């Protein structure tokens, strides 16, 4: 009795309303030239079967997976809004505060050393304001005594100013 071979069918089903030319996948990771994690993309079945699925870059876009991704996106938006609120509070506190730093200087006000973003950040942290050195927008080190107004970029949407007073060390002549 001769056996007839049947064609093995792919487990991937074509996207609704299409022919076999594309399947819908849900990206688990960012894929260059295709999309970002959480997006639903349409790709050729071979690309999905031979590359995206085996490497874990995507999963089949079932209704259950789509709902889970949507819930995850909503949670991410909530977390980002809470983070933005706390960053805005920090920005208001930084704007009200002024930093005074002492440094060795000569009679003309020229510093023997210089004041860096790290020094300003350290002074802000001592005042319970969590500002990292990379948040401070300095054109270069401060080398003169005086008052400076520096930009502080705490978030891509939140910027503020901080006043920095550089004064000669007490007792210096």
* pLDDT tens profile 8-41: 555 666 555 555 678 889 988 888 999 888 888 9
pLDDT for 110 equals 92
Question: What is the pLDDT of the chain when averaged over all its residues?
Answer: 87
Predicted confidence (pLDDT) per residue in 120-141, tens digit:
999 999 999 999 999 999 988 9
pLDDT for 102 equals 93
CA distance 71 to 79: 12
φ/ψ of 2, rounded to 5, equals: -70, 140
Element (H, E) at 58: strand 58-60
Mean pLDDT of the 107-130 span? 92
pLDDT for 9 equals 57
Please report which residue ranges of 59-137 form alpha helices under DSSP H.
63-96, 117-126
157 alpha carbon, distance to own chain's centre: 12
**Domain 89-168 top-level CATH class:** alpha beta
Per-residue pLDDT at 73 exceeds 90: no
Which position has the token pair 């500002």? 131
Are 152 and 137 in contact, with CB atoms under 8 Å apart? yes
Per-residue pLDDT at 1 exceeds 60: no
68 band by pLDDT with thresholds 50, 70 and 90: confident
pLDDT for 89 equals 95
Between 12-21, 33-42, 59-68, 150-159, the lowest mean confidence (pLDDT) is in 12-21
């Amino acid at each position: 009795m001769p056996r007839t071979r049947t064609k093995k069918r792919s487990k991937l089903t074509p996207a609704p309303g299409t022919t076999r030319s594309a399947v819908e996948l849900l990206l688990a990771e960012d894929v260059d030239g295709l999309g970002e994690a959480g997006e639903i993309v349409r790709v050729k079945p071979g690309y999905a079967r031979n590359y995206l699925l085996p490497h874990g870059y995507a999963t089949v876009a079932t209704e259950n997976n789509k709902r889970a991704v949507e819930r995850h996106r909503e949670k991410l938006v909530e977390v980002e809004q809470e983070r933005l609120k706390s960053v805005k509070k920090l920005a208001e506190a930084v704007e009200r505060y002024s930093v005074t730093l002492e440094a060795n200087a000569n009679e003309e006000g020229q510093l023997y050393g210089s004041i860096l973003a790290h020094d300003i950040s350290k002074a802000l942290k001592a005042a319970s304001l969590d500002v990292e050195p990379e948040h401070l927008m300095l054109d270069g080190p401060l080398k003169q005594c005086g008052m400076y107004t520096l930009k502080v970029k705490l978030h891509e949407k939140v910027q503020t100013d901080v006043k920095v007073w550089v004064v000669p060390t007490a007792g210096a002549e």
